[in-house]
């Protein structure tokens, strides 16, 4: 897969001067405390998309920061325009794809997600450290923002009745159907009208992406090659994992709804649906 790197391959690249590794893990929704992995991959730096790389002026969680803010932080992290960036998290695939998508949205394509995350790395016995690294030199990273990689509620609303546009929801089927309360206070239960449930768990097997053939079959059930694909979830994080899957499958018109259900579920003027997913 073009966007995925194995633990074995990453270990063989550890001494490459162009390599920059980021831990983009997060505490799962509904859990308390700070993100504290058991170890860090050698040379890994922290990628904090909840604070340092977020629009903290926005009351919604995890909203994408400005291109200037992103570029400044990447230069401080030693990222160059010709770097190879690898992002990972402590287990499986949940939040690392958010970092991957942020790089893509900023016009940077040489970024990969570590398959299986830290869990697979530790299982293989590869080197770790007890603290995050700090870059000793500034990089020359420049952002080249791409339009519509992140979209807002109004853009989602405008496409609801467009037959060529399909929105996939990465939340659990129970949350999608309105059968389970949202982990965030004040959220209605249900889903965006005409959206399709594709829970994150449905694209994974043992914490790693399913085969490309399996992913292609899943998307082909709902969309054609020229379809506009939108992705949503609880707060714009796991939606990026579905975008990763769609990119692997060769779809080109992809957008992540940054506010996701944290916004849509709280705005009572926006319609919602409950019940079984579309088929």
User: Which residues touch 49 (CB under 8 Å, ≥6 apart)?
Assistant: 24, 26, 62, 95, 98, 99, 102
DSSP conformation letters of 60-129: STT-B--HHHHHHHHHHTT--TT-EEEEE-SSSSSSHHHHHHHHHHTT---EEEETTHHHHHHHTT--EE
Is the separation of the CB atoms in 189 and 83 below 8 Å? no
Is the separation of the CB atoms in 178 and 187 below 8 Å? no
Hey, is 54 helix, strand or coil?
A: strand
CA distance 229 to 240: 12
Q: At what angle do helices 239-248 and 96-105 cross, to 10 degrees?
A: 70
Query: Residues 65, 233, 240, 245: which is the catalytic one?
Result: 233
Is the separation of the CB atoms in 260 and 236 below 8 Å? yes
How many CB atoms lie under 10 A from the CB of residue 230? Answer: 26
Q: Quick check: is 249 catalytic? A: no
Is the separation of the CB atoms in 104 and 146 below 8 Å? yes
Q: At what angle do helices 239-248 and 212-220 cross, to 10 degrees?
A: 100
Is the separation of the CB atoms in 246 and 184 below 8 Å? no
Residues annotated as catalytic are: 233
């Amino acid at each position: 897969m073009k966007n995925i790197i194995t633990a074995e391959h990453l270990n063989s690249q550890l001494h490459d001067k162009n390599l920059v590794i980021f831990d983009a893990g997060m505490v799962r929704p509904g859990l308390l405390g700070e993100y504290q992995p058991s170890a860090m991959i050698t040379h890994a730096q922290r990628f904090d998309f909840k604070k340092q790389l977020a629009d903290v002026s926005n009351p919604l969680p995890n909203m994408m920061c400005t291109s200037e803010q992103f570029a400044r932080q990447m230069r401080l992290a030693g990222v160059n325009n010709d770097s190879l960036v690898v992002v990972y998290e402590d287990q499986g695939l949940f939040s690392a794809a958010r970092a991957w998508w942020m790089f893509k949205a900023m016009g940077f394509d040489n970024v990969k997600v570590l398959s299986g995350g830290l869990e697979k790395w530790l299982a293989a016995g590869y080197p770790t450290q007890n603290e995050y690294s700090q870059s000793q030199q500034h990089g020359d990273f420049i952002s080249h923002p791409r339009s519509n990689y992140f979209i807002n509620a109004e853009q989602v609303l405008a496409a609801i009745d467009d037959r060529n546009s399909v929105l996939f929801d990465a939340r659990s089927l129970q949350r999608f159907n309105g059968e389970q309360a949202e982990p965030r206070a004040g959220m209605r239960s249900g889903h965006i009208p005409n959206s399709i449930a594709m829970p994150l768990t449905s694209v994974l097997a043992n914490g790693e992406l399913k085969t490309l053939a399996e992913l292609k079959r899943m998307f082909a059930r709902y969309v054609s090659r020229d379809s506009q694909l939108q992705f949503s979830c609880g707060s714009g994080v796991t939606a990026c994992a579905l975008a990763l899957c769609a990119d692997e499958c060769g779809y080109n018109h992809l957008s992540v709804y940054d506010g996701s259900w944290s916004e849509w579920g709280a705005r009572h003027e926006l319609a919602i649906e409950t019940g079984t997913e579309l088929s």
